[in-house]
Amino acid sequence: MKNKLKFLIKQSLKKKIGTKWFKAVNIILCILIVAMANIDRLITVFGGDFNKDTTVYVKDNVGVYDYLEPLFNETTKTVEDLKNYKVEKTDKSLKELKKNIKDTDNIIVEINSSDTNYISSTITTYDALDTISYQLLSNVLNQTKEAFVIGKLGLTENEIIALKSNIEITKKTTNPDLKDNAKAKDIISSGLIILFIVPFFIFITLLVQMLGAEINEEKSTKSMEIIISNVPPKYHFIAKISASSLFVIIQGALLFSYTILAMLVRNLIGGLFGSGIVSSNVSKYLKDIINLLKDSGIIDLLIKGLPFIILLFIVNILAYAIIAGVLASMTTNIEDYQQLQSPIMIIMMMGYFIAIMASTFDGSIFIKIVSFIPLLSALVAPVIYLLGQTTIIELIISLIICMITVAILYIYGLKIYKVGILNYSSSNLWKKILKSLKEK
């Protein structure tokens, strides 16, 4: 009989992942994720105005060009997106230069001395100055000023290095479980919810719909009678739950692998954090997030709690699968099932919104209680754990409660399922269900 169970699981899974649609969707997902993770590179590859050669004409009225030129060339050489920038000293009049830059991306930089700030600069362009050019010139001019002043002061090399280095800042917290950080909370409530909760939400929706469609198809074609005459309903139930849950886990793992692939591709085509101006903005953001998560202790919390979070996800998936299976067995067609599944969707929506609100209502007892409620716990418990509102013990308690619930749901769900899968009439449905629950 175990072979038959394995066969049923295999068949059910094959129905979901053996289709050309599953393959097509996954290829599209993989391409999209890799593309999204490398969107800055894509923008660069396809080119545009920013790709045209740009000459920066420097009208130096102070005598800092000797400092500026090497700094400019150094920056444009190391930053991929700036390789089309050239610098040129000019003695031409501003009027003539303005004529020269008409309908071009070329830039005039006029450097004058300043009483309060050593040097000042006027940048003239035909069209509005773009952000990349502004950042480049701003950096180079600041560095030029710095070099000019340091040169004037006659500092030693070590003094110059010490002057330029960042100040060391050590952050300390006293709570052993939590390293509070408001910005990190924002990242969790916005970023991590999108990363973890939204896929979970989508997967459960898929699971509920697939399970319902499959059971209803078997019921409506009466193939259920052939199956159940050979395999006990218990095995059929287990096969459906297992196959659907496995599908969700496989799809989740595939998405995770696409993300890893996207990161590898990113790393391969120019380093994980990139060197271009566009890339460096993305990279800076990524680095900031990682540092923020590290500093706030969220990474540590995630590492400690990850096995339990994964288990909590799996057990909740099982709970949803059992409920969906039982509901599908009770209905006689897919239309009835679609109506019956809406409470599941509402429960998930509740969990989703509570998870979003968790960072706003820090320490809310209501949200804490919700994190223990099965079906909602997968959405809420990990978020409030990572926000530091609950401890790992409370996360484990959520997991245990959910496991117990799954066991109870399975025992009573199976009783309904046994009766439901061979029931083709909706009359006296609730009476039949109540009767089946009373049976030993």
Partner 1 sequence: MLKVENVTKYYDDNLAVDNLSFEVNDGEIFGLLGVNGAGKTTTFRMILGLIDKNKGNITLDGKKIDYSITDQIGFLTEERSLMLKLTVKEQAIYYGTLKGMKEKDILKKLDYYLEKFKISEYKNRKIKELSKGNQQKIQFICAIINDPKLLILDEPFSGLDPLNVEDFMKVIREFRDKGTSIIFSSHRMEHVELFCEKLVILVKGKSVLSGSLKDIKKNYQKKNIIIDASVDENILRSLKGVEEVNKVSNEFIVKIKSDKYIKTVFDYVKECDNVLKFSVEDASLNEIFVETVGGLYEE
Rule CB under 8 A: which residues touch partner 1? 1, 3-4, 7-8, 11, 217-218, 221-232, 422, 428, 431
Q: Which one, 6 or 294, has the nearer CB to partner 1?
A: 6
Burial of residue 363 (CB within 10 Å: 0-12, 13-18, 19+) is exposed
Smallest gap from residue 238 Cβ to partner 1 (A): 14
Instruction: Kindly report each contact of residues 116-119 with a partner whose C-beta sits within 8 Å and lies 24 or more positions away, as own/partner.
Output: 117/145, 118/145, 118/148, 118/149, 119/62, 119/64, 119/144, 119/145, 119/148
* Alpha-carbon distances, residue 220 vs 170, 235, 293, 331 (angstroms): 67, 20, 52, 10
How far apart CA 86 and CA 399 sit, in angstroms, is 61
How far apart CA 98 and CA 92 sit, in angstroms, is 10
Asked if residue 213 lies in contact with residue 243, where contact means CB atoms within 8 angstroms, the answer is no
**Amino acid, single-letter form, for residue 308:** F
Q: Which one, 2 or 95, has the nearer CB to partner 1?
A: 2
Smallest gap from residue 331 Cβ to partner 1 (A): 18
Q: Which one, 8 or 323, has the nearer CB to partner 1?
A: 8
Smallest gap from residue 225 Cβ to partner 1 (A): 5
Q: Which one, 33 or 224, has the nearer CB to partner 1?
A: 224
Pairing of strands 107-114, 118-125: antiparallel
User: Tokens 């496989």 — which residue?
Assistant: 250
Q: How many residues does the chain have?
A: 440
Smallest gap from residue 218 Cβ to partner 1 (A): 7
Q: Which one, 105 or 218, has the nearer CB to partner 1?
A: 218
* Alpha-carbon distances, residue 13 vs 7, 214, 244 (angstroms): 10, 11, 7
- In this structure, the number of other CB atoms found within 10 A of the CB of residue 385 comes to 26
Smallest gap from residue 424 Cβ to partner 1 (A): 10
Looking at the DSSP bridge assignments, the partners of residue 84 are none
DSSP state of 279: H
How far apart CA 110 and CA 82 sit, in angstroms, is 21
Q: Which one, 11 or 173, has the nearer CB to partner 1?
A: 11
Smallest gap from residue 398 Cβ to partner 1 (A): 38
Q: Which one, 16 or 179, has the nearer CB to partner 1?
A: 16
Q: Which one, 230 or 339, has the nearer CB to partner 1?
A: 230
Smallest gap from residue 425 Cβ to partner 1 (A): 10
Smallest gap from residue 227 Cβ to partner 1 (A): 6
